[in-house]
Amino acid sequence: MTMTKADIVQTVYHRLGLSKKESADVVESVFELIRSQLESGEPVKISGFGGFSIRDKKPRQGRNPKTGEDVEISARRVVTFKASQILLDRVNKGPS
What would the pLDDT profile of 1-40 be if each residue is shown by its tens digit?
899 999 999 999 999 999 999 999 999 999 999 999 999 9
Together in a domain, 24 and 59: no
- What end-to-end distance do the CA atoms of the chain give, in Å? 17
Together in a domain, 7 and 18: yes
- pLDDT tens digits along 54-88: 999 999 999 999 999 999 999 999 999 999 999 99
pLDDT for residue 88: 95
Residue type, 18: L
Do the beta carbons of residue 39 and residue 76 sit within 8 Å?
no
**Overall number of domains in the chain:** 2
CA pair distance 2, 70, nearest whole angstrom: 36
Is the predicted pLDDT of residue 96 greater than 70, yes or no?
Answer: no
Together in a domain, 31 and 59: no
Q: Would the pTM of this model clear 0.75, i.e. be above it? A: yes
CA pair distance 40, 69, nearest whole angstrom: 35
Residue 24: give the domain boundaries.
1-41
pLDDT for residue 94: 74
CA pair distance 5, 34, nearest whole angstrom: 14
